[in-house]
Amino acid sequence: MKRFILGLGIVVVLASSPITFAADEAKPIRVEMQDGSVWRGQTGAEVKVSFEQRGRRRVVEGTLARYADGWLELTGPGGKRLAPVFAADIIHIEQLGGGTGSSSSAPAKAPGGDSEADASDSPSSASEGDDKEVDLSIRPTFLLPLTGMVGGDFRPEEIEYVAAQADELGPGQTIVLEINSGGGYVAEWQMIRDAIYEIQKRHRMVAWVLDGTSAAASTSLCCDVIVMKSRGHFGSITTLMGGPSAPIAYQVQSARENMQPMLRKAGRSPKLGIPFKTGEAGQLSLLSYTKDPETGDVTWYQSLDGEEIMNRNGQVLGFTAPEAVHSGMAIGIADTKEELGLLLNQGGWREVGTGTKLHEDWLEVATRCKKAIAADNKERGKLGGSARDLRKQIKILKSWVRWWDRAANACMEARIPTKKQLEEMIVLLEEALDAIQRG
């Protein structure tokens, strides 16, 4: 059974061992580019990729780690993961330092036909419906809503279940986490973070954000790609200790040890770390940026020297949807699934998997659990020490033990004793009942 940290508090990003993004060794790949020409090469090659992103030409250099479901994934110095590049946006690939990479103008297969997981050859999910014609030219997308308190309704289990469904179609799938949460518990967020990092070795993880506050913001920042809803926002990862904010020195140290590595891992500026945690660290809480009008590149400053001011003293960093897009933290805005599918270069929206049902089923169980516990607590307040009342108390506590087995997160949120504590309480009550019956 999972262990939880009880008590109030917004999530602080915990330290974790670095996770290396490993590429398959010398695996041949074939990439269809923007003009229909094809580049052939192998993983492990050093390449220079020219591509178009939101109307601007960009260039990135790195080691070719993987090509899956239309996405070219590179690593930089030290194995650092770089932002993936969508093949349909690629203008040219140049192999550096010699090698066998080659390009051809010969016609290629339809988009997705050469990916490691060809959706047209994969069985349709039940969510598509057997009686509905499926457009297999649209790449499949897995969607999982994540709402409520992190550690209560918002759990890693559903993320892992959806990833297992994506694994059935093969590596390189797109999994969207639809986030609407004000934050929650540190222990649960740590498990969510680790789950996302593990899944990203095989699939593309997208945060689609309406409300991403505290632990939900940290969850969003773990993902390779962030997309905002038009009224969306994320940020404010301040740690609370039973109500008031943790000391400034604690916030700064936490940002340096945990937030900054997480930002670096996703290719984002570590300068955002301390402003996300606290607005009371003087110069370290300041944040601004300047965006190159030609290239779209963003330069961040731990000061107010940039053209766009994001955080001043006394503030805790947060992004609105327009700010997230303009600063490059998010790739765009989408309010509908169809808009999201197009923005993610899926060719439209074809939802597969059972993510929405998984979330709804868990919410139904969690709601019943919390309602039952609330009713039980009300009943317990009326009970005394008679044999009849002791039997009722034992029955209630045994039902709580069963709820811990079925809905541990809801039990934690309801703040009932742990399973071990309940079992000890039951033993004492049974001994008291036995003494009454013998007397």
Q: Residue 40 pLDDT more than 80?
A: yes
The pLDDT value given to residue 151: 78
Beta bridge partners of 72: 67, 85
Q: Quick check: helix, strand or coil at residue 252?
A: helix
Q: Any idea what DSSP says for residue 244? A: S
Residue 331 · residue 321 · CB < 8 Å: no
Residue 193 · residue 155 · CB < 8 Å: no
Q: Quick check: helix, strand or coil at residue 239?
A: coil
206-240 tens-digit pLDDT:
999 999 999 899 999 999 899 999 999 999 998 77
Q: Any idea what DSSP says for residue 377? A: H
Q: What's the CATH architecture for 119-124+136-357?
A: Alpha-Beta Complex (3.90)
Backbone angles phi, psi at 320, to 5 degrees: -80, 170
* Percent of all residues in the chain with a pLDDT value above 90, rounded to a whole number: 55
How far from the centroid of its chain's Cα atoms is residue 110's Cα? 30
The residue with tokens 């930002």 is: 263
287-321 tens-digit pLDDT:
999 999 999 999 999 999 999 999 999 999 999 99
Q: Residue 111 pLDDT more than 60?
A: no
Q: Which residue has the higher pLDDT, 141 or 31?
A: 141
Axis crossing angle, helix 215-222 with helix 186-199, rounded to the nearest 10:
10
Q: Which residue has the higher pLDDT, 22 or 54?
A: 54
Local confidence band at 241 (pLDDT 50, 70, 90 cut-offs) = low
How far from the centroid of its chain's Cα atoms is residue 197's Cα? 9
Backbone angles phi, psi at 21, to 5 degrees: -90, 100
The arithmetic mean of pLDDT across residues 176-205, rounded, is: 89
Q: Which residue has the higher pLDDT, 138 or 20?
A: 138
The arithmetic mean of pLDDT across residues 362-375, rounded, is: 92
What lies within 8 Å, CB to CB, of 143 at 6+ separation is 176, 178, 337, 351, 353, 355, 356
Q: How far apart are CA 151 and CA 412, in angstroms?
A: 8
Domain boundaries, the chain: 28-104, 119-124+136-357, 362-438
The pLDDT value given to residue 88: 77
> Of 400, 390, 434, whose CA–CA distance to 420 is shortest?
400
| CA separation, residue 152 to residues 183, 354, 410 (Å) | 10, 20, 5
The pLDDT value given to residue 273: 95
Class of domain 28-104 as given by CATH: mainly beta
Local confidence band at 7 (pLDDT 50, 70, 90 cut-offs) = very low
The one-letter code for the residue type at 208 is: W
Sheet holding 38-42, edge to edge: 28-32, 38-42, 102-104
Which is it for strands 90-95 and 102-104: parallel, antiparallel or unpaired? unpaired
The arithmetic mean of pLDDT across residues 93-121, rounded, is: 51
